[in-house]
Amino acid sequence: MERRKFLKVAGAGAATAIASPAIAQSLPTINWRLPSSYPKSLDTLYGACPFFADAVLQGTDGKFKITTFAAGEIVPALAVADAVQNSTVEMGHTGSLFYFGKDTAFAFGTAIPWGLNSRQFDAWYYHAGGADILNEFYAKFSIVNLHAGNTGTQMGGWFRKEIKTQTDLSGLKMRIAGLGGAIVQKLGVVPQQVAPADIYPSLERGVLDAVEFVGPHDDEKLGFVKVAPYYYYPSFWEGNAALSFFINLNKWNELPKTYQSVLRNAAMATALDMQAKYDAQNPAALKRLIADGAQLRPFPTDILKASYKVARDLYQEMSEKNPNFKKLYDHQIAFQRDSQRYNAISDFNYDFNSVTAMQQGWDKS
């Protein structure tokens, strides 16, 4: 069985079992629109939309049809949340961090700097109350959130010049969104929020000095290596980057419970597929980028240390000003502390030793 077909069956399986033909006949025929913040050229990000829509269609025996649209086709890339909130569309696909300006707590739907990795985010969201506390917040904006996928830990971005110390960040114009932008601004960067389709032209014309986006697979498609060869890692502002399906709260409440179940199952399958797809695609893309001239660089330690302190100080300030932020931060950071204790002796320890063994050739010593 093909991988995508298997995942669709797995994601829609529970829903299909419920929506058998006899039951499906009694359920309403529904047509929704689903605009994304991403262009079709970004096949893994935008690809979550048709994957999800197909799983919903299968899970409802063809009764629930969702038509997907790329960024700008019916809604501007960075206005998806507004369109959902205002009932212009029934649902949308986006990154919650884009709406940081509405309320700083929107950051938690994607990532906070020095926050959870992707496995920790899934554990927090699905099994530690994360979904409930996030949706308690989103309800204030007439939105229901379903986890739509994750890129995993992102790269730190493309720079025209080499960054050797924090001083080299001063005045640097960088495309970076959300809370990550607020952190690097305190390090001297001038953050710019630019829609995905407009990033390369801005970098090429010199409007931007640097850009962070996702990772090798998407970055290769956007051609950043041609104009900014220094490729930094890791993205300390996005140890994970969760995507969201935003659904208008009233439209969600109007759905039969069976359809709500189908949407949840389809979203979970979509989230699994996206993470697995990135994990499969990024290694080969990184090889090609290096062959094309990308120069890998780790961020200097002084920048990492400074960013960690700046982040923690800023979270304290934001918590004092915004009870929405404080509630989500306290909940997520408590989970992170417990998770890190175990992660340090399990996955991190295993990964460190596995990488060391391969690099040092333990099997040859």
Residue in the block written with tokens 């900014």 = 228
Length of the chain as a residue count: 365
Residue 147, H or E segment: strand 143-150
Residue in the block written with tokens 């069976």 = 258
Task: Report the distance separating Cα 261 and Cα 267, nearest Å.
Answer: 10
The residue type found at 10 is A
Task: Report the distance separating Cα 201 and Cα 359, nearest Å.
Answer: 38
Tell me which residue of 167, 186, 166, 185 sits closest to 175, measured CA to CA. Answer: 185
- Tell me what pLDDT residue 21 has: 53
- Tell me what pLDDT residue 26 has: 84
Tell me which residue of 171, 282, 284 sits closest to 234, measured CA to CA. Answer: 282
Q: What is the pLDDT of residues 159-202, one digit of tens each?
A: 999 999 999 999 999 999 889 999 999 999 999 988 888 999 99
Confidence (pTM): 0.91
Strand spans (E) along 70-142: 91-94
Sheet architecture: strand order including 190-192: 190-192, 173-175, 210-211, 157-159, 230-233, 295-298
- Tell me what pLDDT residue 216 has: 98
- Tell me what pLDDT residue 6 has: 43
In three-state secondary structure terms, 29 is coil
- Tell me what pLDDT residue 319 has: 98
Fold of 3-153+239-281: D-Maltodextrin-Binding Protein; domain 2 (3.40.190)
pLDDT along the chain (365 residues), means of 10: 46 47 76 97 97 98 98 97 98 96 97 97 98 98 98 97 96 93 96 89 95 96 96 97 98 98 98 98 98 98 97 98 98 97 95 95 88
